[in-house]
């Protein structure tokens, strides 16, 4: 469904506050929509933050707002789809700002390809039994959810995106009902005795994302 060899710019934002990343995405959405910028993939980590989608209330946040603040965690409502999730250090976050008119105006296909960008390297490079579950958006290893997807679209340009737990303290996920589901959450490093570097995972997912959408990485910063 994609057009081959569309250019892709990859930007590493490092550790960036959630609100700052959201503002940058909105700016890029307008630029991509009017053709000023090419498709862009933002890669980052966030300081500890719990976010919830535009149609989601606090029902799946299991502690008080005061308790969240006491733990030094930010709480943000966002304009993406999906339910509640956690972002924090040790989690790789990918925000594709993609012109969906050029890769197929099919949001289900788009989300399946985001999943595939994480599943393929986890299986092929790390030997993990990563997979998707029918009717449940995200990435799983055995009974554990390790990857989370929540997107938004404006003028047929995507924003928000996907996060993958690489080395996240699971205690943070006990404060919420992730994605509104009763699920166990894990990180990639839970399955290995030697630590997998977040930078290694990021490189592999960037390459796989370019592959599944038939993009050619042409610029930006790829030094994590």
Q: Cα–Cα–Cα angle for 195, 198, 204, nearest 5°?
A: 110
Calculated CA dihedral for residues 150, 18, 11, 215, nearest 10 degrees: 10
Q: Which of 48, 128, 118 is nearest to 88 (CA)?
A: 48
Q: Is residue 1 part of a domain?
A: no
Binding site, annotated residues: 80-87, 161-163
42-97 pLDDT, tens digit each: 999 999 999 987 767 677 888 898 999 999 999 998 988 778 899 999 999 999 99
Quote the pLDDT of residue 175.
87
109-153 pLDDT, tens digit each: 999 999 999 999 999 999 999 999 998 899 999 999 999 999 999
Token pair of 2 as six digits: 């994609």
Q: Which of 44, 56, 179, 202 is catalytic?
A: 179
What is the 8-class DSSP label of residue 160?
A: E
Judge whether residue 2 has pLDDT over 80.
no
DSSP run (H or E) holding 177: none
Q: Is residue 42 part of a domain?
A: yes
Burial class (CB in 10 A: 0-12, 13-18, 19+), 214: middle
Q: Is residue 21 part of a domain?
A: yes
Q: From the CA atom positions of the chain, what is the Rg in Å? A: 16
Binding site, annotated residues for substrate: 80-87, 161-163
Q: Is residue 10 part of a domain?
A: yes
Lowest-pLDDT range of 53-57, 193-197, 206-210: 53-57
Give 3-state DSSP helix, strand, coil % of the chain, rounded to 5.
30, 35, 35
Quote the pLDDT of residue 91.
98
Q: What is the CATH number of the domain that holds 161?
A: 3.30.930.10
Q: Is residue 137 part of a domain?
A: yes
What SS3 state is found at 134? coil
Q: Which domain holds residue 167?
A: 6-221
Active site residue 76: no
Structural domains counted in the chain: 1
In this structure, the number of other CB atoms found within 10 A of the CB of residue 63 comes to: 14
Residue carrying the six token digits 């404060």: 175
Q: Is residue 96 part of a domain?
A: yes
Distances 190 to 36, 176, 213 between C-alpha atoms, Å: 42, 20, 29
């Amino acid at each position: 469904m994609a057009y081959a060899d569309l250019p892709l710019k990859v930007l590493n934002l490092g550790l960036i506050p959630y609100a700052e990343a959201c503002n940058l995405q909105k700016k890029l959405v307008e630029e991509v929509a009017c053709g000023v910028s090419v498709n862009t993939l933002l890669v980052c980590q966030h300081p500890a933050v719990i976010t919830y989608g535009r149609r989601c209330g606090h029902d799946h946040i299991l502690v008080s707002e005061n308790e969240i603040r006491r733990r030094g965690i930010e709480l943000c409502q966002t304009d993406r789809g999906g339910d509640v999730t956690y972002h924090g250090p040790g989690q790789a976050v990918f925000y594709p700002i993609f012109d969906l008119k050029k890769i197929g105006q099919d949001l289900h296909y788009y989300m399946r390809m985001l999943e595939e960008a994480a599943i393929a390297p986890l299986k092929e490079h790390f030997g993990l039994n990563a997979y998707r579950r029918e009717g449940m958006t995200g990435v799983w290893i055995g009974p554990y959810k390790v990857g989370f997807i929540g997107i938004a679209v404006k003028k047929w340009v995507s924003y928000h995106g996907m996060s993958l737990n690489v080395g996240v303290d699971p205690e943070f996920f006990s404060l919420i009902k992730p994605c509104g589901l009763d699920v166990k959450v894990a990180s990639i490093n839970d399955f290995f005795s030697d630590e997998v570097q977040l930078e290694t995972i990021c490189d592999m997912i960037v390459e796989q994302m370019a592959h599944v959408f038939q993009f050619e990485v042409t610029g930006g910063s790829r030094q994590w």
